[in-house]
């Protein structure tokens, strides 16, 4: 990347199960952006036992949402290591205070919003089954196991994650919508019109 090339700062938004991970990997590969996933960042910090990772884990273990200031510190700390790169943020900012804090440090050029109807997401997520030991994922609709409820390689039972049960999916989608609607409105008010995509 030449010195005169302007760096791109982009954010991708989408409800759980909207395909953010898949779309992000395609975008970052095609446009040579660094992909910063808040979920991956959290897991990595908890695994390494960093100060912020330990703090985040205390909230997760209590079943609480991680406070905005903790998520913001985590994301902004990581972004300091990416000052020479164009990047795509995935999962941050998720709330209005997070968006405002990010805006004080970086100018966001583009917001991509994956606008997938909740009914489709619900179908996708509730059809997902996992082999817990390996993490292998099956989907009853487009990648089913050879035998219902059984892992193809080990013959062990598959489970449905608590997050993928229908009643939990509905709650997660409603919480996502309540949290992120103000963020999208904030970016529109900043004259960054979110690009709406259906993956």
From the list 9, 122, 124, 128, the catalytic residue is 128
From the list 9, 122, 124, 172, the catalytic residue is 172
134 is in an annotated binding site: no
137 is in an annotated binding site: yes
107 is catalytic: no
Q: How far is CA 112 from CA 13, 31, 76, 82, 131, in A?
A: 6, 14, 20, 20, 32
64 is in an annotated binding site: yes
165 is catalytic: no
66 is in an annotated binding site: yes
58 is in an annotated binding site: no
Q: Is the peptide bond before 93 cis (omega within 30 degrees of 0)?
A: yes
17 is in an annotated binding site: yes
Per DSSP, the three-state class of 164 is helix
From the list 161, 165, 171, 181, the catalytic residue is 161
In whole angstroms, what is the distance from residue 60 CA to residue 64 CA?
6
In whole angstroms, what is the distance from residue 55 CA to residue 137 CA?
30
93 is in an annotated binding site: yes
22 is in an annotated binding site: yes
26 is catalytic: no
34 is in an annotated binding site: no
In whole angstroms, what is the distance from residue 75 CA to residue 90 CA?
10
Closest CA to 8 of 26, 30, 29, 31: 31
From the list 20, 48, 124, 136, the catalytic residue is 20
From the list 94, 124, 146, 165, the catalytic residue is 94
**Chain length of the chain:** 199
Residues tagged in the binding site annotation for GTP: 17-22, 128, 137-138
Residues tagged in the binding site annotation: 17-22, 38, 43, 64-66, 91-94, 98, 128, 137-138, 161, 172
Residues tagged in the binding site annotation for AMP: 38, 43, 64-66, 91-94, 98, 161, 172
Q: Which residues are catalytic?
A: 20, 94, 128, 161, 172
């Amino acid at each position: 990347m030449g010195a005169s090339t302007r760096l791109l700062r982009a954010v991708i938004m989408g409800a759980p199960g909207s395909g953010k991970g898949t779309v992000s990997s395609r975008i970052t590969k095609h446009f040579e952006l660094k992909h910063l996933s808040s979920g991956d960042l959290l897991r990595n910090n908890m695994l390494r036992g960093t100060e912020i990772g330990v703090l985040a884990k205390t909230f997760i273990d209590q079943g609480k949402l991680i406070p905005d200031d903790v998520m913001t510190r985590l994301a902004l700390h990581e972004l300091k290591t990416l000052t020479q790169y164009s990047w795509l943020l995935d999962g941050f900012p998720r709330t209005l205070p997070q968006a405002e804090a990010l805006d004080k440090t970086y100018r966001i050029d583009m917001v991509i919003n994956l606008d997938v109807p909740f009914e489709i997401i619900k179908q996708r997520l509730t059809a997902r089954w996992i082999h817990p030991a390996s993490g292998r994922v099956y989907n009853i609709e487009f990648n089913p196991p050879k035998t219902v409820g059984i892992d193809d390689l080990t013959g062990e039972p598959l489970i449905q994650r608590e997050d993928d049960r229908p009643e939990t999916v509905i709650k997660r989608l409603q919480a996502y919508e309540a949290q992120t609607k103000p963020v999208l409105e904030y970016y529109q008010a900043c004259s960054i019109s979110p690009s709406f995509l259906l993956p």
